[in-house]
């Protein structure tokens, strides 16, 4: 099992997303991999296609920690009392691009079910 890096849901498999974390940039200059669940990946991918119509804010990216311009991504935390707990994660453009790449890779992937 692995935990989604955004909403912390535990799943057997997550979608690998490449991000460049400034605090690890000297050790991993080409970026590191984080794992996102299908829902977070999809939300981030949708936001990436909409950044021109969204108002950005400044702060620390929830995924890579970069201090930059951030875009709001709707996510849902698993909640024992409510089932899900909607929240907003703030991601930088770089991480959103990484999510789009991962989403496209996933969509183009041949299904592992029967042929």
- Name the residue nearer to Zn ion (CB basis): 47 or 61: 61
Q: How far is the CB of 52 from Zn ion (least distance, A)?
A: 18
Q: Which is nearer to Zn ion, 48 or 53 (CB)?
A: 48
**Per CB under 5 A, which of residues 59..78 are in contact with Zn ion?**
61, 63-64, 66
Q: Is 40 in the site for Zn ion (CB under 5 A)?
A: yes
- DSSP codes, 52-75: GGSPPEEEE-TTT--EEEEEEEEE
Residue 65 is encoded by which pair of tokens? Answer: 């920690």
Helix axes of 38-48 and 93-108: crossing angle, nearest 10 degrees: 120
CB closer to Zn ion, 8 vs 104: 8
Whole-number Å distance between alpha carbons of 3 and 108: 24
Q: Using the minimum distance from each CB to Zn ion, give the nearer residue, 7 or 102.
A: 7
CB of 59 to Zn ion, least distance (A): 11
Please compute Rg for the chain using Cα positions: 14
- Residue 105 belongs to what H/E stretch? helix 93-108
Which residues are near Zn ion by CB under 5 A? 4, 6-7, 37, 40, 61, 63-64, 66, 92, 95
């Amino acid at each position: 099992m692995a935990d989604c890096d955004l909403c912390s849901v535990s799943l057997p498999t997550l979608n690998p997303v490449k991000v460049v974390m400034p605090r690890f940039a000297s050790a991993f200059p080409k970026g590191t991999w984080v794992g996102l669940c299908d829902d977070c990946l999809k939300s981030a991918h949708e936001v990436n296609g909409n950044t021109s119509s969204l108002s950005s804010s400044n702060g620390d990216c929830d995924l890579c920690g970069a201090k930059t311009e951030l875009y709001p991504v709707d996510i849902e935390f698993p909640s024992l009392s409510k089932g899900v707990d909607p929240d907003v994660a703030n991601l930088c453009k770089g991480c959103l691009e990484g999510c789009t790449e991962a989403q496209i890779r996933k969509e183009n992937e041949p299904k592992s079910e029967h042929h």
